[in-house]
């Protein structure tokens, strides 16, 4: 080891060495940075992790759109069954009623006392019938006693008295029958009076929503006059007017699709009404669908679109819905070509399940990005 004591001027010797070393580093730095940039350019951007799907053919049926509307299977006017002035209105437009709920009440006093009078008539005729029957029993007993005398050939027997008694018994039988018939008549009148009294309370015949109120308190209603309009919005179906030239493919049980509030649901034809509209040359078709998955409030006469089949199935090119992006008003997808994402403008048609019909821009077997496509840029490498 060399001792520092041998070099008393070592500070003067080290300084030039350090200066030279720093100068060399600074001179080499630009070349090193340039080399790093060149190496980075050779590697390129990092590959993005994506999910892809193939462009493939699917079967679709040829259809035409037909405008339809929602209709209620149960709707109508709730009318008065007895005449009288309105005492109360217990429903308003928009109220949801259950079956049996009170819609309105008529003035009941007159009907109440009619019912009471009929009840009194029933009681009176019951008493009359009981009296006639008791009298008949007594006469029958006397008739039986005379008949015994006749059979025994008693000296107390009188034929004239027996004949007179027989006539009285016959008359009493007729009176009992008449009283019995009269009792049935007044009992029927009493039941009708009770029914009319019950009808003074107007009730909803089915569950639904009040859409219109036709009368108010104080108005006099005749039999059959409208009180409120009611619609059962829990049992809606679709009615569409289908042109007669397209009706051949429509039959009960036929599968169709219905678009409501932007949602397409599957449906079935319930009935084809056998009556043609001479002005529009159409026939009404009733269609049932499960409307529970439709978001938002549904209403009677709401417009819907029905896809009516007009021919057999055909194969079309389709692309996954998640692959389609909106760019400046155009439909665009990223196609994977040699490991890189290439943007391509396409033209799409109707939706078929979770896919779109491709009208132009793609071919069968093309690989398109369905996940991670929102953050891609043209030419970016991808892996999947």
* pLDDT of amino acid 347: 95
63-73+232-312 sits in which CATH class?
A: mainly beta
What pLDDT shows up at residue 146? 74
State residue 302's pLDDT score: 93
pLDDT at 44 (0 to 100): 61
- Matching residue, tokens 């009294």: 197
Average pLDDT over residues 164-170: 81
SS3 375: helix
Q: Given a cut of 50, is residue 33 above it in pLDDT? A: no
Give the Å distances, CA to CA, from 337 to 250, 342, 346, 382: 45, 7, 16, 10
pLDDT at 67 over 70: yes
What's the mean pLDDT in 89-97?
95
How many percent of the chain have pLDDT more than 70? Answer: 87
CA angle 218, 231, 192 (to 5 degrees): 55
Q: What are phi and psi of 14, to 5 degrees?
A: -70, -35
Where are the domains positioned within the chain? 4-42, 51-60+316-383, 63-73+232-312, 109-199
- Report pLDDT for 81: 96
Count H helices, E strands: the chain? 3, 22
Q: Which residues contact 345 (CB under 8 A, 6 or more apart)?
A: 330, 331, 332, 361
pLDDT-derived band at 43 (thresholds 50, 70, 90) equals low
Looking at residues 167-185, what average pLDDT do you find?
90
Q: What is the DSSP string of 225-243?
A: -EEEEEE-TTSEEEEEEEE
Give the model's pLDDT for residue 303.
Answer: 94
Q: Please write the tens of the pLDDT for every residue from 192-222.
A: 999 999 999 999 999 999 999 999 999 999 9
Q: What is the pLDDT of residue 1?
A: 40
Q: Is the pLDDT of residue 247 over 50?
A: yes
Q: Average per-residue pLDDT in the chain?
A: 85
State mean pLDDT over 277-285: 94
Residue 101 binned pLDDT confidence (cut-offs 50, 70, 90):
very high
Q: What pLDDT sits at residue 145?
A: 78
Q: What is the pTM of this model?
A: 0.58
Q: What is the CATH number of domain 51-60+316-383?
A: 2.40.420.20
Judged against a pLDDT cut of 70, whether residue 8 lies above it is answered with no
Q: Which CATH architecture has domain 109-199?
A: Orthogonal Bundle (1.10)
Helices (H), the chain: 10-43, 109-152, 159-199
Residue 48 in this model has a pLDDT that exceeds 50: yes
Average pLDDT on 357-371 reads 95
The pLDDT, as a whole number, for residue 294 is 79
Q: What percent of the chain has pLDDT over 90?
A: 61
Average pLDDT in the 256-265 region? 89
Can you give the pLDDT at residue 2?
40
Statement: residue 114 has pLDDT above 80: yes
Give yes or no for residue 21 having a pLDDT over 90.
no
């Amino acid at each position: 080891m060399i001792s520092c004591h041998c070099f008393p001027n070592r500070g003067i010797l080290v300084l030039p060495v350090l200066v030279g070393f720093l100068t060399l580093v600074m001179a080499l730095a630009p070349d090193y940075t340039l080399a790093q940039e060149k190496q980075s350019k050779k590697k390129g951007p990092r590959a993005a992790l994506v999910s892809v799907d193939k462009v493939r053919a699917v079967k679709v049926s040829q259809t035409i759109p037909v405008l339809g509307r929602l209709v209620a299977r149960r709707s109508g006017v709730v009318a008065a069954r007895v005449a009288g002035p309105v005492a109360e209105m217990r429903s308003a437009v928009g109220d949801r009623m259950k079956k049996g709920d009170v819609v309105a009440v008529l003035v009941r006093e007159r009907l109440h006392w009619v019912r009471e009078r009929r009840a009194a008539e029933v009681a009176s005729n019951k008493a009359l019938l009981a009296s006639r029957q008791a009298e008949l029993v007594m006469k029958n007993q006397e008739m039986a006693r005379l008949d015994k005398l006749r059979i025994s050939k008693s000296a107390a027997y009188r034929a004239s008295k027996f004949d007179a008694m027989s006539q009285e018994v016959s008359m009493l039988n007729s009176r009992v029958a008449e009283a019995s018939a009269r009792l049935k008549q007044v009992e029927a009148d009493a039941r009708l009076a009770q029914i009319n009294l019950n009808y003074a309370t107007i009730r909803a015949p089915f569950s639904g929503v009040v859409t219109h109120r036709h009368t108010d308190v104080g108005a006099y209603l005749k039999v059959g006059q409208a009180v409120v309009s009611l619609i059962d919005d829990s049992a809606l179906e679709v009615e569409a007017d289908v042109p007669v030239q397209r009706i051949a493919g429509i039959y009960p049980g036929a599968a169709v699709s219905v678009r409501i509030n932007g949602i397409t649901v599957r449906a079935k034809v319930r009935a084809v009404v056998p009556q043609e509209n001479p002005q529009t040359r159409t026939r009404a078709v009733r269609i049932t669908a499960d409307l529970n998955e439709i978001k938002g409030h549904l209403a009677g006469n709401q417009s819907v679109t029905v896809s009516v089949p007009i021919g057999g199935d055909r194969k079309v090119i389709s692309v996954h819905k998640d692959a389609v992006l909106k760019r400046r008003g155009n439909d665009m997808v990223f196609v994977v070509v040699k490991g890189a994402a290439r943007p391509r403008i396409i033209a799409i048609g109707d939706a078929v399940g979770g896919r779109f019909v491709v009208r132009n821009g793609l071919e069968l077997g093309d690989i398109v990005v369905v996940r991670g496509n929102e953050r891609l840029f043209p030419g970016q490498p991808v892996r999947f």
